């Protein structure tokens, strides 16, 4: 009996998502030239985010709950080329892992998921852009100008 017919594509399993911890992600972003793309919502980004991060929401909050962004890969592709090295993050590392799966299926081969996400980044004491910090800095600058 002949073996069942298989194409080479059918026998190839997709490459697994590579997940790195926040320390490795920090090294990749600051020293190895990787870009950081945050897939949280704009509202989440507004509460704080990594310096120089791009934002492409993977999901939106709707009256029905969270819904996947149907244009996620298209928006991502408009900001990042398929050859670029990218670290993808979210709040905890789950959405970013799903985002990496979609990106890899679309031909992005140099994406890594940041395990633990933004929460782990903050817990590790790495620098962030926090709107409260920016507001405080602006207020301090205004006070200094008024004193001068």
How confident is the model at residue 10, as a pLDDT?
44
What is the C-alpha separation between 46 and 40, in angstroms, rounded?
A: 10
Topology of the domain comprising 14-147: Oxidized Rhodanese; domain 1 (3.40.250)
Kindly list the domain boundaries of the chain, sorted by start residue.
14-147
User: How far is residue 66's CA from residue 99's CA, in Å, rounded to a whole number?
Assistant: 14
C-alpha distances in Å from residue 88, one per residue of 13, 40, 74: 22, 10, 16
pTM above 0.85, yes or no: no
69-105 confidence digits (pLDDT tens): 999 999 999 999 999 999 999 999 999 999 999 999 9
* Residue 90: active-site member: yes
pLDDT of residue 107: 96
Which among 88, 90, 103, 111 is annotated as catalytic? 90
The pLDDT tens digits along the chain (148 residues) read: 444 433 334 445 567 999 999 999 999 999 999 999 999 999 999 999 999 999 999 999 889 999 999 999 999 999 999 999 999 999 999 999 999 999 999 999 999 999 999 999 999 999 999 876 555 555 666 676 777 6
Quick one: how far is CA 107 from the chain centroid? 17
Pair 38, 59: CB distance under 8 Å: no
């Amino acid at each position: 009996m002949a073996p069942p017919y298989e194409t080479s594509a059918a026998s190839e399993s997709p490459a697994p998502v590579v997940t790195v911890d926040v320390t490795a992600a920090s090294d990749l972003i600051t020293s190895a030239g990787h870009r950081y793309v945050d897939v949280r919502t704009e509202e989440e980004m507004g509460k704080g985010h990594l310096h120089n991060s791009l934002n492409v929401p993977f999901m939106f909050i709707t009256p029905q709950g969270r819904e996947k962004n149907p244009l996620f890969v298209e928006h991502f592709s408009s900001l990042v080329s398929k050859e670029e090295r990218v670290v993808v993050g979210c709040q905890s590392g789950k959405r970013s892992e799903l985002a990496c799966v979609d990106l890899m299926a679309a031909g992005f081969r140099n994406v890594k998921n940041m395990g633990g996400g933004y929460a782990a980044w903050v817990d590790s004491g790495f620098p962030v852009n926090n709107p409260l910090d920016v507001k405080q800095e602006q207020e301090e600058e205004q006070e200094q100008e008024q004193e001068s």
